[in-house]
Amino acid sequence: MSSDSRDCNRVVFEQIARLGQAFSSATRLEILAVLDNGPRTVQVLADRLDQSTANTSQHLKALEESRLVESEKDGLHVTYHIADEKVGQALRVLEDLAEDRLLEMKEVVEQYFGAREELESVEGDELIDRVEAGEVTLIDVRPREEYEAGHLPGAISVPLEELDEHIEDLPSDQTIAAYCRGPYCVMSAEAVEQLRDRDLEAIRLEDGVREWQERGYPVEEPTPRRSDN
């Protein structure tokens, strides 16, 4: 291999390594997972991750420098969003790779979510049919702004922090299916535990909105606002 070829390879992999450095922080991965469900301000991200605003801003700066997230300023507020759908796809590849290769990851998944066979395995068309037939009540336990940005067809918004006060409003003669941000989101697992404690039949869906879309199923999105002009 010529000297020029080696130099080219080195430069290429140095650029790829920039992304590796951005992905090397657990907090930055959490930020990407939240942003994959919709744009957020620094303040909202800090609150969701239980981090200081200053610390969250530093992580966002690193992600922005690596071109994984982008920002828009509106007055005093800065809103961040993932730069491209490939960023979310890369995050899910890392999640799958970690579960395949790391014994510790498998142990964490089983500890918090139970064995995979305990999850509801149902095709999208079948789930939609069951919801429409009144056999399943589908609840989205993410924060309401994430639900409003896009949700599974027929789902109703019941944020986890509001679930306890709304449990009595849920039908007792149907299966309650809960979902959140995907297979590694604990909110749906906590929701199922609360529902079962109240003697309701509850299951956790592994798919979040992004996984659902990648499998080719439709997502209900907000209706665009009409212009006054």
Domains and CATH numbers, the chain: 3-87 (1.10.10.10), 110-214 (3.40.250.10)
Is residue 37 pLDDT above 70, yes or no?
A: yes
Q: What is the pLDDT of residue 223?
A: 52
Which pLDDT score is estimated for 228? 42
- Please state, rounded to an integer, the average pLDDT across all residues of the chain: 87
Of the listed ranges 23-32, 200-209, 216-225, the least confidently predicted one is 216-225
Return the pLDDT at 225.
Answer: 41
Q: Which residues are CB-neighbours of 106 under 8 A, at least 6 positions away?
A: 99
**63-91 per-position pLDDT tens digit:** 999 999 999 988 888 999 999 999 999 99
> Is 70 exceeded by the pLDDT of residue 56?
yes
Identify which has the larger pLDDT, 158 or 10: 158
Query: Is 90 exceeded by the pLDDT of residue 35?
Result: yes
Active site residue 180: yes
40 contacts: CB under 8 Å, gap ≥ 6:
34, 48, 79, 80, 81
Kindly report the number of other CB atoms within 10 A of residue 149's CB atom: 16
Q: For 32-58, what is the mean pLDDT?
A: 93
Asked if pLDDT for residue 119 goes beyond 70, the answer is no
Check residues 30 and 114 and name the one with the higher pLDDT.
30
Name every residue whose Cβ is closer than 8 Å to that of residue 122 and which is 6 or more positions away in sequence: 130, 205
Selecting among 46, 180, 200, 202, the annotated active-site residue is: 180
Note the pLDDT of residue 106.
83
Region of poorest pLDDT, from 93-107, 134-148, 151-165, 210-224: 210-224
Nearest Cα neighbor of 150 from 160, 165, 162, 140 is: 140
Query: Given this model, what pLDDT does residue 229 score?
Result: 39
